[in-house]
Amino acid sequence: MEDSSLFPISRRDLLIAGASSAAATAVPATAADPAPVETPVVSRVTLDVNGTSRTLEVDTRTTLLDALREHLHLTGTKKGCDQGQCGACTVLVNGRRVVSCLSLAVMNAGARVTTIEGLGTPTSLHPMQAAFIRHDGYQCGYCTPGQICSAVGVLDEIRRGVPSHASQDITAQPLLTAAELRERMSGNLCRCGAYSNIVDAITEVAGART
């Protein structure tokens, strides 16, 4: 039996007040509903891929990597992290290395894209491909297409005098040191740890060119 002189509000009133307050602060059921699915915007894009003009109809959100692998079936370019951290997807766009998972296909309209399939063929290897084989610059090979495309881009950067974080003098022609090559190739990860042999392969090609 409750003594109303000590508790002017009955337990029943308190429970009703608590329930009303909880209902007032509850998240409306509609807030958890999934966002409406938007219709993809499709765009036509033409790329020069390995010397051949290719026109694709792609969702504008399609990365260059997915356009190459899923639309053109050029699976030599690998998808590792899909967020710009491993370098497995590196290709050359207008001769410059690009991580294709961070570039949209539509951003590259009209560009000249070179993948590992376009660098050389089994019977006519690109010098960098041949050097990787000679120096054992790979084990499982998953990172290798990206490493080779990146290495070709690195030598072009050095030839054009682009400095790196490892350059002692950013106004001078970069030197072909192992430190320079390691710094420039640092965006290309190799879980097999073939780094030393990769540097040897690049050094050989660079030496052959100078």
Q: How far is the CB of 172 from ligand FES (least distance, A)?
A: 30
- The C-alpha atoms of residue 145 and residue 11 are separated, in whole angstroms, by 74
Q: How far is the CB of 23 from ligand FES (least distance, A)?
A: 49
Q: How far is the CB of 194 from ligand FES (least distance, A)?
A: 5
Burial class (CB in 10 A: 0-12, 13-18, 19+), 17: exposed
- 141 contributes a contact to ligand FES by CB under 6 A: yes
Nearer to ligand FES, 105 or 167 (CB): 105
Of residues 33 through 52, those in contact with ligand FES by CB under 6 A are none
CA atoms within 13 A on the CB side of 164: 21
Q: What size, in residues, is the chain?
A: 210
Please name the amino acid found at residue 18: G
- 97 contributes a contact to ligand FES by CB under 6 A: no
- 82 contributes a contact to ligand FES by CB under 6 A: yes
- 67 contributes a contact to ligand FES by CB under 6 A: no
List the one residue from 9, 21, 40, 84 that touches ligand FES (CB under 6 A).
84
- 118 contributes a contact to ligand FES by CB under 6 A: no
- 149 contributes a contact to ligand FES by CB under 6 A: no
Long-range contact pairs involving 182-187 (C-beta distance under 8 Å, separation at least 24)? 184/154, 184/157, 184/158, 185/147, 185/150, 185/151, 185/154, 187/87, 187/90, 187/99, 187/150
- 98 contributes a contact to ligand FES by CB under 6 A: no
Q: How far is the CB of 114 from ligand FES (least distance, A)?
A: 16
- The C-alpha atoms of residue 64 and residue 92 are separated, in whole angstroms, by 11
- The C-alpha atoms of residue 79 and residue 97 are separated, in whole angstroms, by 16
- 99 contributes a contact to ligand FES by CB under 6 A: yes
- Given a contact cutoff of 8 angstroms between Cβ atoms, the answer to whether 93 and 103 are in contact is yes
State the residues that interact with ligand FES by CB under 6 A.
79-82, 84-89, 99, 101, 138-144, 190-192, 194
